[in-house]
Chain A
Amino acid sequence: MSFINYSSREINCKIVYYGPGLCGKTTNLQYIYAKTNPEAKGKMISLETETERTLFFDFLPLSLGEIRGFKTRFHLYTVPGQVFYDASRKLILKGVDGVVFVADSQAERMDANLESLENLRTNLKEQGYELDNLPYVVQYNKRDLPNAVDLDYLKRYLNPTNVPDYEGVATTGVGVFDTLKAVAKQVLIELKRGR
């Protein structure tokens, strides 16, 4: 749920990065954090385990500039990807304005991708949302790995509704900002429509 503050002339929106464990959700945020001007970003928070796996969420506040005198701020969140953290994932989806599904392109992670995508749909429904009605972008991450499967195959199974999608290598930043811009743009267009 976006928040418009007429007093401070700000608009705040929430974007959630979803996907299976180790697909690169946190790496997306880390790259964005590393490449953004200090004045446009806040502190990045990672609530992680001792082995640097996301335990609850990562959080990164970003300013994207002004529209009609209103500062646009996006709050980026990741969910913990590991299957057993489902209760936490549900909480983080509350009030979401846009979703990025980060898929792992490796052949052996295809089942995990499909399971996570199904889990996303289920958890959104529990919060009263339909994925098909939300601003939504897919990123096929880890395209640089030798065991990455064909793009057509990924598209067929992970993006049947043909939403905007991007190839990514989050470690080097390929596709990271394209993905972010695409989902942020969709969120603003939805706001304009007044939902």
Chain B
Amino acid sequence: MNSPMVLYEAEFKQITLVCDTLHRDASAKAVFLVDKNGQLLANSGDTADLDTTSLASLTAGNIAATGGLAQLLGEKEFAIQFHEGEKDNIHISLVGQRVILVVIFDERSSLGLVRLRVRKACLDLAGLFEVIHQKASEQGSTVFSEITDDDIDNLFGDG
């Protein structure tokens, strides 16, 4: 139920490639992939000036709140959200009930183009995350199976 999500090098490269492609094809400023618990999984584009950790956490909170609203209305979910700003806009979509795809774009792109490209990226990502979850459940153990009590004590040893 609460097993960790594990992202290996090969899959990380694949999902980053999808984000890079979306970033380019949608003429976006930045693309983020976030899990529903608020962890940033991958990003692409102009992210240097952005607080990506906060962005991931708030996006997940936003999706969770919107999901709660959907349930109150008897909807399964609201799969897409769009927030329009003076300069920048955010397009948020749910991928296969597991991860959240965030696209930030400005006047160099358009909502129509972003929606079109996001649709393709969602299909690619849904397939990739099927593999990722299957692999995680098959592997069973992680690097953390090998750590010792001393390793953990050392982390907290210096007060």
Interface residues of A (CB under 8 A from B): 1-8, 11-12, 14, 42-43, 45, 47, 56-57, 59, 61, 64-68, 70, 72, 75, 87-88, 90-92, 94-95, 97, 128-129, 181, 184-185, 188-189, 191-192, 194-195
Contacts and interface: CB of A to CB of B under 8 A. Distances in A.
Interface residue tally on B, bucketed by range: 35 or more
Interface of B: 1-9, 12-13, 35-39, 41, 51, 53-54, 57-58, 61, 64-65, 67-68, 140-147, 149, 151-152, 155-156
Contacts of A8: 12
A94 to B, nearest CB: 6
Contacts, number: 128
9 contacts: A1-B3, A3-B37, A4-B144, A5-B12, A61-B54, A92-B64, A94-B37, A97-B2, A128-B1
B157 to A, nearest CB: 10
B57 A75 contact: yes
Nearest to B52: A42
Contacts of A87: 68
A3 B145 contact: no
Given A61-B53, A97-B2, A194-B141, A7 B12 contact: yes
Interface residue SS majority, chain A:
mixed
